[in-house]
Amino acid sequence: MMQRVPGSRGFTLLEVMISAALGIVVVASGLAVGTQMQRRALFEEQTMMAQTTGRTLEEMLSSQVARAGAGMGNTPISFADSDDRFGIEMWSNPSTVAFFTTDGDYVAPDAAKQQPASDALRLYWGSTNALISLEGCTGKGSSVRQGADQFCLAPSSSDGLAPAVGQPFTLAVLANANEQSACATRVTNVNAGSNRLTATLGTGTLNTGGCGLAPTDMYWTSGDWLVMGLEGVAYRVNWKNNIPTLEALPSGATTWQVVSRDVEQLRVRQAVIDLTNLNAAPRWFPETDLTLANPPRPAISDCTVGQFSTSCAVETPSFENVPPTETVEVRRRRLQQRVREVEVTLVVRTRRNDREINQPTVTDDDGFRLDGYKRRTFTFRVAPRNFGVAGLVPPALTGVAP
């Protein structure tokens, strides 16, 4: 009897099609998961970069604010008539300040596009690397001035302030804590051999104030005159091309330099002390929390005459000389000399936004718009130690055992 041998049987067309479809689904799912993981990794990397940028800027600004006012304390530096600058100054609306807009490159944030407003910050300090002490000139008693542009140096003085090759002058500051005076100075020559320093006071016309007094005035007979290189930096957030950019202008430079394209906002507050009650809590400018200040306090740069007795009130200690007529600039100056702490807030955002998370009308838990950008906020406080050492400070106690 013959037996039938079953023939070999392959996959049917339907089975092949089902297998192919399942394979495509698996591959597509793998690609989707891989793309999503790659996208998430990219934005996580950007978030980490934003955090690193914020920490780096915090360290940089903290060190600069801490040494602001070195050599002159809270005394304003006279650059020219009507141009007195402090070691620390901030402005809530930099677009109205010529210092921050004269380059023609500054673009203010557009409120219609919900671009956050930023403050501007300017710092100055004296460098001790080439510090020079002045002393009385021969035949001039204790006066440190020999003539209009000649100053007498202490023996064995450094010539580190001499202008570099190709430079017309070195920008310096002539300061005296006893006189509460600080003058921006252009040093053109240092002759350590003959103990002479050649310099011009101010960067413009100085006809008033201590820096504009004649060389024969008794003002120059006070001891403890110092000359230091003047260093500093100013910061602004520029929204040119709708890209927030933190820019810096070092002292003596003419071109603003890019520091970071990740900083969306810079905010600055200043703590003002009461010189008649040093134990009292400082007042913060600005302060918008009505539970802490009612009426709210503006930035020092925004104080007006109408706020002299309220938000911008200031006490008058016995050791402070106040002009008979107090203008807005005088009141702002008095408040600025009482600053003893600075609070800086930086908002750093990622460079690219996640288009899948774009709900600009909705805010997150931190109050930021859900526009696809990840943001990190860094707030820190720094005490500029030099502001409490020289300038308008309480007189030293006498008769107190050390």
Lowest mean pLDDT among 68-82, 195-209, 282-296: 195-209
The answer to whether residue 17 is domain-embedded is no
| 36 has pLDDT over 70 | no
The answer to whether residue 41 is domain-embedded is no
Tokens of 333: 């100056």
Please report the pLDDT score of residue 72 as a whole number.
92
**Residue for token pair 């050390």:** 402
Nearest CA-CA partner of 233 in 75, 99, 365, 141: 99
| 227 has pLDDT over 90 | yes
Rounded to 5°, angle at Cα 17 from 14 and 23: 140
**CB within 8 A of 358, min separation 6: which ones?**
370, 371, 372
The full DSSP string for 11-46 is --HHHHHHHHHHHHHHHHHHHHHHHHHHHHHHHHHH
Structural domain including 198 reads 46-273+338-388
Which pLDDT tens digit goes with each residue over 323-335?
888 899 999 999 9
Most confident of 10-14, 16-20, 52-56, 339-343: 339-343
Model pTM?
0.86
Please report the pLDDT score of residue 368 as a whole number.
78
Most confident of 22-31, 166-175, 209-218: 166-175
Domain count, the chain: 1
The answer to whether residue 133 is domain-embedded is yes
The answer to whether residue 25 is domain-embedded is no
| 309 has pLDDT over 70 | yes
**CB within 8 A of 118, min separation 6: which ones?**
94, 109, 236, 237, 265, 266, 267
Please report the pLDDT score of residue 402 as a whole number.
45
Q: Does 110 or 371 have the greater pLDDT score?
A: 110
Which pLDDT tens digit goes with each residue over 184-218?
999 999 998 899 999 999 888 877 778 888 888 88
Which pLDDT tens digit goes with each residue over 236-265?
999 999 999 999 999 988 899 999 999 999
Please report the pLDDT score of residue 312 as a whole number.
94
Q: Positive or negative CA dihedral for 355, 360, 363, 369?
A: positive
The answer to whether residue 242 is domain-embedded is yes
Region of 252 (left: φ > 0; alpha: ψ -120 to 50; beta: rest) is left
Please report the pLDDT score of residue 38 as a whole number.
59
Q: What are phi and psi of 183, to 5 degrees?
A: -120, 125
Cα 285 off chain centre by: 16
The answer to whether residue 311 is domain-embedded is no
Task: Find the mean pLDDT for residues 115-138.
Answer: 93
Percent of the chain with pLDDT over 70: 90
The answer to whether 323 and 331 have CB atoms below 8 angstroms apart is: no
The answer to whether residue 342 is domain-embedded is yes
The answer to whether residue 265 is domain-embedded is yes
